[in-house]
Structure 1
Amino acid sequence: MYISNQKEFEAPQATATLQIKCRGASVTMRVRKLKPAQNLFREGDDARHVYEVTSGVLRLIKVLEDGRRQVIAFGYPGDIVGFPQDGCHYTECDALSSTEVIAHSIRDLECGERNPELHQRLVNAALKEISAMQDRFMMLGRKSAVEKVASFIFALMERSGKPLGAYTHFEFPMVRADIADFLGMTTETVSRTVTSLRKQKMIALRNANSVVVLNEDALYDLANPA
């Protein structure tokens, strides 16, 4: 059963097309732009495309029949999302910020004759997704609360961090509830753990969503216990 907090599904519009040459053949790819909170696809939709994130951040969630949800992943620039299961999307995907994606035909994943380079890139992305899911299962099953949050912050720092003097700064595009649902924790535990990391001077908060990493080595060691 699909459950959404949106009254009406608003499909993203194709705002432009890209024409590229591959071995003499012209391949058209659609560029789509999404507003914050706009869905890219819904659970159970036919999977005709996979989507390469070029800007912004996506959230992939699975909603249970009782209304509870699990955040499966976040899609950052360079990520490819929407790999199918039995021909359908098995999660819901929406935008956490203004986001732009390139829609690749699912045929380019299934067959490499038309565009071998793109086919190989999509296959590599699918394998990367499997590896990331395995890492996440290990994190959920074996790491403590503080190790989970440290791992999450360190990963976001690596993906979107920017220099701020001698430190590294990044923004949380998601709310604490999203982080909790991704890490298998409560929102209160996430907030307490972030406060603990701040008191240990591993991070500083400029505001609720703006993080400065003060001690990368200590954060890494905490995220990766021996």
Structure 2
Amino acid sequence: MTSHHQVGNALDVWEIGLSMTPAARALLLLGAAGRHDAGSRPVGERDRALLQACLPAGRWLDAVTECPSCGSQLDVELDPAALVAPTASEPQVSVVCGEYRVVARLPTGDDLAQLSPSGLVEELRTALLARCVVSADHAGRAVESSVLPEPVLLAVESAMAAADPGADVQVTLSCAECGAEWSSSLDPVRFAWTSVEHAARRLAVDVHTLAQAYGWSEAEILRLSPFRRRLYLSAVAP
């Protein structure tokens, strides 16, 4: 699924994406950045493209978390360039488990966006594997992914995770108060969406300020280049 929404600014993106699932938002954000091909790439590559497209170069991610041992609140700064590991060059994995042999391609952003937002975890897992399994056989006889036993499914998922480590970004954290160390998952889509939300809210304030000062419509203000918008804002509140 590739988003074909026409978006021209952060307000458009934010408004359109509010009703979307996180996976669909990722495609919307990438499309707005001109990366219409990223949805067909493995999830780790999608997330790397998201961080590059939605966060200014050199900007670190600010996060707040809680120590699981003592409950202290931690303010964390993360370097987005170092977060998402490269995906393996081979987009497929081949797994042999007992008498089963399975070939599967890595899940993509499009695959995630196609999953039902109301599905249960196990249903989503089954649906994703059905999309990604290219071929499966038991003792040389072709079988459907739906009949693969749990150990085989786990082996396939483990091979996928190893081939695309950027699909599950793990950050190692430590607490300055009690010295505890732990790993936590980081969601690049959430960070990218938060960045767009902040940009949209700033833009809404700019529109409000200029509309009050000059009587211009939202459309007229949004047609201004960023340079001219800042110039007029500086005249309103020097």
TM-score (norm 1): 0.25
TM-score (norm 2): 0.24
Determine which structure has the larger helix proportion and give its number: 2
Q: Which has the larger radius of gyration?
A: 2
Determine which structure has the larger strand proportion and give its number: 1
Higher RCO, Cα 8 Å, sep 6+: 2
